[in-house]
Structure 1
Amino acid sequence: MRNNNTLSRAILASVLCGPGAVMAGGFSLNEQSASAMGVANAGTAANPENATTVFFNPAGMSQLSGTNVSFGAAVLDIDAEVKDGKASATNNVGAPVSGGDGGDIADPAVLPNIFVTHEVNDTVDVGIGLHAPYGLKADYDDDFVGRYFADKTELTAIALSPSIAVNNGEGFSMGIGVNIIYAKGRLTKFQDYSNFGLPQEGYFDTEGDDIGATVSFGLLYELTDRTQIGLSGQTGTTLNLEGDATLTNFPQVTSSGVNLVTAKEDANVPLEIPESLTFGIRHRLTDTVTLLAGATWAKWSRFEALDVESGEDGGTISAVGGPKYGDDDLIGHVSENWNDTWQVNVGAIWQATPAWAFKAGYAYDESPVNENYRTARIPSNDRQWLTLGTQWNDAPSGWTVDVAAGVLLFDDVDVNEREYTVDDEPVGNAASYSGTYELSAWSAGVQVSKAF
């Protein structure tokens, strides 16, 4: 029995701590406002058009009079699929894995938002927003050749953002807010038992949720009657998505033979939210043309690894996963080693008539993913964003409607995935996955704003 238990643990180690279960938390969602989308988010830290400034720069509330409400939604549709014949994988013993290319892994997503601001007095403004700052959803076909590395990946994050701003009445204001974030995630993958000569596959499923908070802040200064600059930022945090990990169809070796069982363990997945800083400038070139520019830096390098941590002492899964990866508290580990990123953007607004304005914007957005550790769950690359928008404003009634659309441009992305220890050293199995992805995306949004 002692020898059989040892063999059972060896099988479990090769399965659950093999090419790993990955949850992504690295994509910030740009689609927070159709009014900002029209200029590819250029200069948003210095251009408080409506109540969405609660998100972009809380100091901007000081330039809104009375009470302002802004609500809307964006649609984001990403097409991500492996190019025909460009996917291959090997199992734990180095034999080719049969299967398909995985299909289109991303479905369209709808991202709603609502923001409200209120002028308390000549010096103080308050506001609140409800929005989706982060998110990801990907799902491969069940016969995907890389199914031992990735199947479903889901992340939903919703933030409630109360904020306050003060101004000195001479063109300078500052604001601060709290982003209370609820995040829920799930990841799954199929399990490979080939190194033990077993024909069946297992299935690994981890899910959890958490509530955390970051602090946002901003400064806004009018240099002249035509030019103003803004600086906004957000602190970082770690959300610990607590839930459970389940492995079905696990072969447990006993003295009487092999039994297929389900192994469960409390689990925790740390989700890194990065610090960020955004600079923006707005310049009214003429009475009808406004130029915008900005840049955002995000500290994604805080996401060094995806760790699935045990929530139990002496758990069945972590008892074998920990020693393999060099940390006894780990169920699984995937090296990520993400990079800090920059997004730069420029835009323009043409006020064609008192009621109608037209917008255009361009942004270059770096991906945080380290190409040496790119995975099937996040086949990401740098991207370019081209947008157009229009705004209708009825000044007497206080109603404003923005409509915008944009396209995201990517180069093809190569994924060459392996398994690594906590020290970024290759582990001792032959499992691998390689694929070349075609990525494209478009987004569209509408924003309705009302000033009272």
Structure 2
Amino acid sequence: MKHVSFKISTLLISTLFAQNAIASGYHFGTQSVGAQSTANAAAAEAADASTIFSNPAGLTKLDGRGEFTISGNLVFPSIKYGEAKGTYYNSTVPVTGSDSGKITEVTFAPHMYGAYKLNDKVTLGLGMYIPFGSKTEYDENSVLRYNINKLGLTTIAIEPAIAYQATPQHSFGAGLIGQYSQAELRKYADWGASGTNPLLRQGHSDGRGDVKGNDWGFGYHLGWMFDVNDRVRVGVNYRSKVEHNLKGTAKWDAVGSAVNGSTPTSALLQKVIQSPTSQTVVTPFGSTTGRGYVPSEKASVKIVTPESLSVHGMYRATDKVNLFGDITWTRHSRFNKAELMFENEKQVAGGTRSNKTVITPNWRDTYKVAVGGSYQYSEPLQLRAGIAFDQSPIKTSQDRLNTMPDANRIWYSVGARYTHKKNHVFETAFTYVDIKDSDFKAEQSTGSDVDSKGATSARFKTYASILGMQYTYRF
């Protein structure tokens, strides 16, 4: 039963670092089409108001009195899993169900930015972007259903920012990040894993948990840009951690034939399972306590999204060619333990009681290296391209979650920018994300918290394509 809990943690916790995530860990990966076209190497370019995300100091580099930028990304993920295997808790009997499949859930992510120059020194900005986002759903009879069956995450960040031109060469920027996250999870639990009632047959006594939660979290953002000379610009960008205490509701339904049938026995079993452990239930076989999987209860989990530090640069090689580079470090090791707390104590696998689920993903800090360039083909048309290596925070297959077959990846990006009468800028980009094949292995649950899975494993082949469109109006 823990799996509902386990996965809500994963979902909420990982902020849903799910399978639609296109950057390592649980980052969405692109918040600007102009940046996407160079594999996110062009943070030092500060070409439009989306610099609020990549480096707020870049607001001072914008032309004109003000501008606004609107963009959207369509993400086409492909997650194929196969050779999936699982056993019931404390058993060698294999879990029945589908052992392979393909997950393709198209995701749309919009982003909006605005900037306004108060004077020659100070520029204000406001951004709304998607830092995290995913949606993943397995077949309901998947062999992996006791790990997780469905998850989705929507995260929206709103960032007011200010930039100051201290000298002709040095600019500084700062932003306040307000981050709203909403997550949903569907998880199956084997109520027969407790072993306390012979009528609860494994594989026929499944319960399904649906969990939803949301929260606001806050952080800050700092940036610096230095124009070394007319050809070289460098910058540093720091995004702080954001703490979340996601609170929501967990709803439990009996779905297995042994607990959701039309017989009096099924009704009695369901009543016992879905009554609080503090409540005594009278049965024809004697009195017993409830198992704690009440139809509806509160649930919460605390998570910390990691801070990151990036160093980037731009070199104007010729009047037509610009070269870009970026190195980003992310403190993913903050996600090393998470606890999902339930309102009610439950009798869990092994016959013990618990009101929480604990996961220890043991993530590591990561780095991303990106290089790119642009070529001014004509006065209105600029061609752009880039490549990036994005390291995964997952070290071994035992640390990987089936909700996120994350692995090292390489970004290949191309794009174009077309400027019409200096006031209208249209951009498009296409990216192919090549993700390394990965394995997933999970040990049987310990029986000390809300979890009922046996040993499970699977293999994943994953890639993603991203199509981006962007429009900027300058005034």
TM-score, structure 2 normalization: 0.84
CA-CA distance at 1:192 after TM superposition: 1.2
- The worse-fitting range, judged by mean Cα deviation, of 64-73 and 198-207 is 198-207
**Distance change >3 Å, CA 175–CA 97, structure 1 → 2:** same
Which whole-Å CA distance do the structure 2 matches of 1:434 and 1:19 have between them?
A: 19
CA-CA distance at 1:231 after TM superposition: 0.5
- Residue 215 in structure 1 maps to residue 220 in structure 2: yes
Which residue in 1 is equivalent to 2:467?
Answer: 444
Which whole-Å CA distance do the structure 2 matches of 1:81 and 1:257 have between them?
A: 48
- The worse-fitting range, judged by mean Cα deviation, of 94-103 and 168-177 is 94-103
**Distance change >3 Å, CA 113–CA 429, structure 1 → 2:** closer
Residue pairs, 1:278-317, within 5 angstroms: 278-310=310-342, 312=343, 315-317=344-346
CA-CA distance at 1:50 after TM superposition: 0.5
Which whole-Å CA distance do the structure 2 matches of 1:449 and 1:430 have between them?
A: 50
**Distance change >3 Å, CA 421–CA 165, structure 1 → 2:** farther
CA-CA distance at 1:367 after TM superposition: 1.4
Correspondence for 1:400 among 425, 439, 459: 425
- The worse-fitting range, judged by mean Cα deviation, of 28-37 and 214-223 is 28-37
Which residue in 2 is equivalent to 1:76?
Answer: 75
Letter in 2 for 1:365: D
State whether residues 400 and 441 of structure 2, in contact with CA within 8 Å, keep that contact through their aligned partners in structure 1: yes
Which residue in 2 is equivalent to 1:224?
Answer: 229
Which whole-Å CA distance do the structure 1 matches of 2:352 and 2:295 have between them?
A: 18
Letter in 1 for 2:28: L
Residue pairs, 1:93-242, within 5 angstroms: 93-101=91-99, 103-195=101-193, 196=195, 197-198=200-201, 199-242=204-247
Correspondence for 1:384 among 376, 391, 410: 410
What is the DSSP-based 3-state SS (H/G/I as helix, E as strand, rest coil) of the residue aligned with 1:104?
A: strand
- The worse-fitting range, judged by mean Cα deviation, of 52-61 and 203-212 is 203-212
Letter in 1 for 2:463: S
Which residue in 1 is equivalent to 2:441?
Answer: 416
State whether residues 399 and 451 of structure 1, in contact with CA within 8 Å, keep that contact through their aligned partners in structure 2: yes
**Distance change >3 Å, CA 60–CA 201, structure 1 → 2:** same
The C-alpha deviation readout for 1:230-280, integer Å capped at 9, x for no partner, is 000111022111012232227427441599974433111223210001110
The C-alpha deviation readout for 1:53-99, integer Å capped at 9, x for no partner, is 0111000000113101111101111111213xx11111112310111
Which residue in 2 is equivalent to 1:272?
Answer: 304
What is the DSSP-based 3-state SS (H/G/I as helix, E as strand, rest coil) of the residue aligned with 1:316?
A: strand
Which residue in 2 is equivalent to 1:338?
Answer: 363
The C-alpha deviation readout for 1:193-215, integer Å capped at 9, x for no partner, is 34434222111222210011110
**Distance change >3 Å, CA 337–CA 27, structure 1 → 2:** same
Which residue in 2 is equivalent to 1:7?
Answer: none
What is the number of residues matched between the two proteins?
425
Which whole-Å CA distance do the structure 2 matches of 1:122 and 1:397 have between them?
A: 20
State whether residues 356 and 450 of structure 2, in contact with CA within 8 Å, keep that contact through their aligned partners in structure 1: no
CA-CA distance at 1:28 after TM superposition: 0.8
Which whole-Å CA distance do the structure 2 matches of 1:369 and 1:269 have between them?
A: 21
**Distance change >3 Å, CA 237–CA 19, structure 1 → 2:** closer
- The worse-fitting range, judged by mean Cα deviation, of 215-224 and 193-202 is 193-202
Which whole-Å CA distance do the structure 2 matches of 1:211 and 1:246 have between them?
A: 22
**Distance change >3 Å, CA 276–CA 208, structure 1 → 2:** same
| Structure 2: gaps of 5 or more residues | 16-24, 260-268, 274-280
State whether residues 102 and 141 of structure 1, in contact with CA within 8 Å, keep that contact through their aligned partners in structure 2: no
Which residue in 1 is equivalent to 2:2?
Answer: 16
What is the DSSP-based 3-state SS (H/G/I as helix, E as strand, rest coil) of the residue aligned with 2:345?
A: coil
Which residue in 2 is equivalent to 1:357?
Answer: 382
**Distance change >3 Å, CA 90–CA 419, structure 1 → 2:** closer
Identical counterparts, % of pairs: 27
State whether residues 150 and 188 of structure 1, in contact with CA within 8 Å, keep that contact through their aligned partners in structure 2: yes
CA-CA distance at 1:103 after TM superposition: 2.7
Letter in 1 for 2:432: V
CA-CA distance at 1:306 after TM superposition: 3.2
- The worse-fitting range, judged by mean Cα deviation, of 70-79 and 254-263 is 254-263
What is the DSSP-based 3-state SS (H/G/I as helix, E as strand, rest coil) of the residue aligned with 2:103?
A: coil
CA-CA distance at 1:38 after TM superposition: 0.8
TM-score, structure 1 normalization: 0.88
**Distance change >3 Å, CA 421–CA 335, structure 1 → 2:** farther
Which whole-Å CA distance do the structure 2 matches of 1:104 and 1:179 have between them?
A: 36
State whether residues 244 and 266 of structure 1, in contact with CA within 8 Å, keep that contact through their aligned partners in structure 2: yes
What is the DSSP-based 3-state SS (H/G/I as helix, E as strand, rest coil) of the residue aligned with 1:444?
A: strand
**Distance change >3 Å, CA 201–CA 287, structure 1 → 2:** same
Which residue in 2 is equivalent to 1:91?
Answer: 88
The C-alpha deviation readout for 1:4-57, integer Å capped at 9, x for no partner, is xxxxxxxxxxx337993232324111221111111001031x110101001110
